[in-house]
């Protein structure tokens, strides 16, 4: 074993490793430290001194081996403070260090410019920066900075106070596990963190910014690349800071120091079997949804009437009109009728859609030769409605004929004029203030102009819903496990008090109201049938179906028919079958009665109840009715 120490031999500030004149051998003499043979035990020190900094370039023509490596700065305080940095630049090939690599102070530097440095351990009090490969267990209070390219860390990163940083345009790759007290920081609004083993990453990510224009991929923010995980099936932000990512190969939670409440996780393929993800402030419906055209996939907002789309049957069709409408869903009285439906990548088949697609609730998808509104296929797994979305912009593409477009490779309809052109702000018509995107199956145009039959019946839709739900489970989604009850919890609200039935049997509910009661409401749980069975196109909030209302005051007997014109607020339209008549409440139906000076006995005959969902809209109605 020999010990080599760097020495200054000229006014030059940079010295080649493979020049023997640049080294002093302990005991006298010179030489080149290390050898091309594994097992070399030379101890090497790159040492700055009072004459100036030590800058050494490792540019050997083959892999090189040494025993240990130390990079040491020079510091003195007398006669005046002075510091000289020491730097080892590994520009080519590989330097194998059998034992420890030590950067002894804040002015000790190792730079990589495509080379590789390996050691049994790396005690870093300085800075290792650049691009290349670094191997060895890392400790110390120094910095690891990826810059100029990709810096690949091949060893596990255990508990350490080392600062891991990513410069603009660079990438830092962790090949193995990362401990919980490790923080990785994006220094600018670009850069990539590559996780080859995302399930073993327990660190925290700092410096992520929010992309304010995700139309062409990530811009103005750092990117996290989950290599080798395949396609992401869903990603969301939990608790405002944790990125929750679901893929076919596993579920990953990535902690960040950000506050991303109201933001979204967007993603795209990295082209190598993995997926890149980033944080953005908008969902990508119009901004980024790609439509197949004769010039390739084009974002829908970039289409013009000079373009021709490629339809599902392979023909080119010119665009005749593009409708656009931006909606503020926070101001919409019924946002569930306009909030986007998110169809996750691969929900229908591999690459159908090829990435997440968002459509309006009644936008029809072409499935098994039929047109089915997206809302009827919601399974709260691979197809969900984003009810918390604050704003969305919808585009619709019209052709000379109704046809099937390819949106993110998923067959979806072009625009069919069903009388809703005024929904769009560029139609030249009086604008509908709060549009609700309903499919009106009774319109003749569905028979005369549609390119395929419209399917909205349970018999037609439920088998397809079941198939897509089964596929979602196969993609790794958990069935939502909806909590329901058959109990309507029927009661009366009057004068700020809750009155429970004194008798309830066979659909007959009896309430006793004290004298002087006004402002009577018939209250119950309420749920939209579509929230329990999405394939049923009924989004009314249904409480109970009332078939008879009877009022008794002393010996007086009065019956109020369910089609009485005074039954307005909280009552749905009258329904009949044969000689039977009933009327659904919405969970808080006003009764135009008062008890006057005498107590009133109220009989409510209920012909049917519902299956009530105990969350979502059902919970909201329950809270109002309680």
Q: Does residue 435 register a pLDDT over 60?
A: no
The verdict on residue 589 lying in a domain is yes
Of the residues 475, 510, 532, the one at which a domain ends: 475
Q: Does residue 370 register a pLDDT over 70?
A: yes
Residue 91 in contact with residue 58, Cβ under 8 Å? yes
Mean pLDDT of 2-27: 80
Name the band, by pLDDT with cuts 50, 70 and 90, for residue 626: very low
Q: Does residue 197 register a pLDDT over 50?
A: yes
- SS3 labels along 398-437: EECCCCEEEECCEEEECCCCCCCHHHCCCCCCCCCCCCCC
Residue 217: predicted pLDDT: 57
Mean pLDDT of 356-361: 87
Residue 335: predicted pLDDT: 81
Of the residues 198, 213, 229, the one at which a domain ends: 229
546 and 577 part of one domain: yes
Q: Taking the complete model, does pTM exceed 0.85, yes or no?
A: no
Alpha-carbon span 623 to 626, nearest angstrom: 5
396 and 317 part of one domain: yes
Dump pLDDT digits (tens) for 50-62: 666 778 887 877 8
135 and 178 part of one domain: yes
The whole-chain average pLDDT of the chain stands at 85
172 and 319 part of one domain: no
Residues 110-141, buried b or exposed e (16+ Cβ, 10 A)?
A: bbbbebbbbbebbbbbbbbbbbbbbbbebbbe
Residue 287: predicted pLDDT: 45
466 and 492 part of one domain: no
Q: Does residue 430 register a pLDDT over 60?
A: no
171 and 300 part of one domain: no
Q: Does residue 284 register a pLDDT over 60?
A: no
Residue 534: predicted pLDDT: 87
Alpha-carbon span 89 to 14, nearest angstrom: 10
Asked which of 78-87, 375-384, 466-475 is least confident by mean pLDDT, the reply is 78-87
Q: Does residue 306 register a pLDDT over 70?
A: yes
The verdict on residue 238 lying in a domain is no
The boundaries of the domain holding residue 185 are: 2-229
Residue 620: predicted pLDDT: 39
Q: Which of 392, 406, 142, 138 is nearest to 296 (CA)?
A: 406
Q: Does residue 292 register a pLDDT over 80?
A: yes
Give the sign of the dihedral formed by CA 464, CA 470, CA 474, CA 476: positive
Name the band, by pLDDT with cuts 50, 70 and 90, for residue 619: very low
Dump pLDDT digits (tens) for 333-344: 778 888 889 999
Residues 531-558, buried b or exposed e (16+ Cβ, 10 A)?
A: bbebbbbebebbbbbbbbbebbbeeeee
Of the residues 475, 509, 530, the one at which a domain ends: 475
Q: Does residue 79 register a pLDDT over 60?
A: no
The verdict on residue 535 lying in a domain is yes
544 and 519 part of one domain: yes
Dump pLDDT digits (tens) for 398-420: 999 999 999 999 999 998 877 66
Residue 129: predicted pLDDT: 95
Alpha-carbon span 209 to 264, nearest angstrom: 12
User: In terms of pLDDT, which residue wins out, 233 or 243?
Assistant: 243
Residue 467 in contact with residue 475, Cβ under 8 Å? no
Token digits for 469? 């739900």
- The β-bridge relationship of strands 341-343 and 316-328 is unpaired
Q: Which of 315, 282, 319 is nearest to 298 (CA)?
A: 319
Dump pLDDT digits (tens) for 152-185: 999 999 877 899 999 999 999 999 999 988 999 9
Alpha-carbon span 178 to 608, nearest angstrom: 58
Mean pLDDT of 449-453: 90
Q: Does residue 141 register a pLDDT over 80?
A: yes
Does 427 sit behind a cis peptide bond, omega within 30 degrees of 0 on the bond before it? no
333 and 423 part of one domain: yes
Dump pLDDT digits (tens) for 246-283: 776 788 999 999 887 656 677 777 778 788 888 875 43
530 and 394 part of one domain: no
Q: Does residue 608 register a pLDDT over 80?
A: yes
Mean pLDDT of 499-519: 92
Q: Does residue 236 register a pLDDT over 80?
A: no
Residue 449 in contact with residue 486, Cβ under 8 Å? no
The verdict on residue 250 lying in a domain is no
Residue 206: predicted pLDDT: 94
Mean pLDDT of 107-114: 92
Alpha-carbon span 151 to 194, nearest angstrom: 10
Domains of the chain: total: 3
6 and 152 part of one domain: yes
């Amino acid at each position: 074993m020999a010990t080599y120490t760097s020495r200054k031999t000229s006014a030059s500030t940079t010295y080649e490793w493979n020049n023997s004149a640049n080294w002093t051998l302990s005991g006298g003499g010179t030489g080149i430290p290390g050898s091309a043979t594994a097992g070399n035990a030379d101890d090497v020190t790159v040492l700055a001194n009072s004459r100036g900094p030590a800058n050494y370039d490792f540019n050997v023509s083959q892999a090189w081996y040494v025993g240990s490596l130390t990079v040491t700065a020079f510091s003195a305080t007398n006669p005046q403070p002075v510091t000289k940095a020491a730097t080892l630049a590994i520009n080519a090939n590989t330097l194998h260090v059998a034992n420890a690599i030590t950067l002894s102070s804040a002015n000790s530097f190792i730079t990589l410019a495509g080379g590789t440095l390996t050691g049994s351990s790396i005690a870093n009090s300085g800075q290792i920066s650049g691009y290349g490969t670094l191997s060895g267990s890392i400790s110390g209070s120094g910095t690891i900075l990826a810059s100029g390219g990709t810096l690949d860390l091949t060893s596990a990163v255990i508990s350490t106070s080392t600062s891991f940083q990513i410069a603009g345009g660079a990438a830092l790759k962790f090949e193995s596990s990362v401990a919980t007290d490790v923080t990785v920081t994006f220094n600018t609004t670009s850069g990539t963190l590559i996780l080859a083993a995302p399930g073993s990453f327990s660190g925290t990510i700092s410096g992520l910014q929010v992309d304010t224009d995700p139309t062409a991929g990530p811009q103005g923010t750092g990117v996290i690349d989950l290599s080798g995980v395949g396609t992401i099936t869903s990603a969301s932000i939990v608790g405002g800071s944790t990125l929750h990512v679901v893929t076919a190969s596993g579920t990953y939670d990535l902690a960040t120091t950000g506050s991303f409440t109201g933001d979204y996780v967007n993603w795209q393929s990295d082209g190598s079997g993995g997926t890149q993800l980033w944080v953005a402030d908008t969902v990508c419906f119009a901004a980024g949804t790609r439509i197949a055209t004769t010039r390739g996939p084009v974002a829908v907002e970039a289409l013009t009437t000079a373009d021709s789309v490629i339809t599902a049957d392979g023909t080119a069709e010119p665009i005749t009109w593009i409708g656009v409408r931006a909606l503020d869903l926070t101001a919409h009285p019924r946002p569930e009728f306009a909030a986007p439906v998110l169809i996750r990548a691969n929900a229908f088949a591999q690459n159908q859609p090829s990435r997440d697609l968002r459509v309006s609730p009644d936008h029809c998808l072409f499935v098994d030769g039929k047109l089915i509104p997206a809302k009827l296929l919601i399974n709260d797994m691979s197809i969900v409605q984003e009810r918390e979305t604050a704003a969305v912009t919808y585009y619709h593409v019209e052709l000379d004929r109704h046809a099937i477009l390819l949106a993110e490779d998923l067959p979806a309809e072009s625009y069919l004029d069903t009388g809703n052109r005024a929904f769009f702000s560029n139609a030249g018509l009086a604008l509908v203030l709060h549009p609700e995107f309903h499919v009106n199956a009774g319109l003749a145009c569905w028979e005369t102009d549609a390119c395929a039959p419209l399917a909205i019946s349970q018999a037609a839709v439920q088998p397809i819903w079941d198939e897509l739900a089964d596929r979602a489970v196969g993609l790794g989604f958990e069935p939502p496990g909806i909590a329901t009850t058959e109990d309507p919890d029927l009661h009366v609200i009057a004068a700020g008090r809750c009155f429970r039935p004194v008798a309830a049997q066979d659909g007959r509910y009896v309430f006793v109201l004290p004298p002087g009661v006004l402002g009577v409401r018939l209250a119950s749980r309420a749920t939209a049938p579509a929230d329990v069975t999405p394939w049923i196109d009924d989004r009314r909030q249904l409480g109970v179906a009332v078939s008879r209302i009877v009022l008794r005051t002393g010996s007086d007997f009065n019956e109020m028919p369910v089609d009485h014109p005074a039954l307005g607020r909280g009552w749905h339209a009258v329904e009949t079958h044969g000689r039977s008549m009933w009327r659904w409440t919405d969970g808080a139906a006003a009764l135009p009665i008062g008890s006057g000076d005498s107590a009133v006995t109220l009989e409510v005959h209920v012909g049917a109840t519902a299956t009530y969902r105990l969350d979502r809209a059902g919970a909201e109605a329950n809270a109002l009715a309680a």
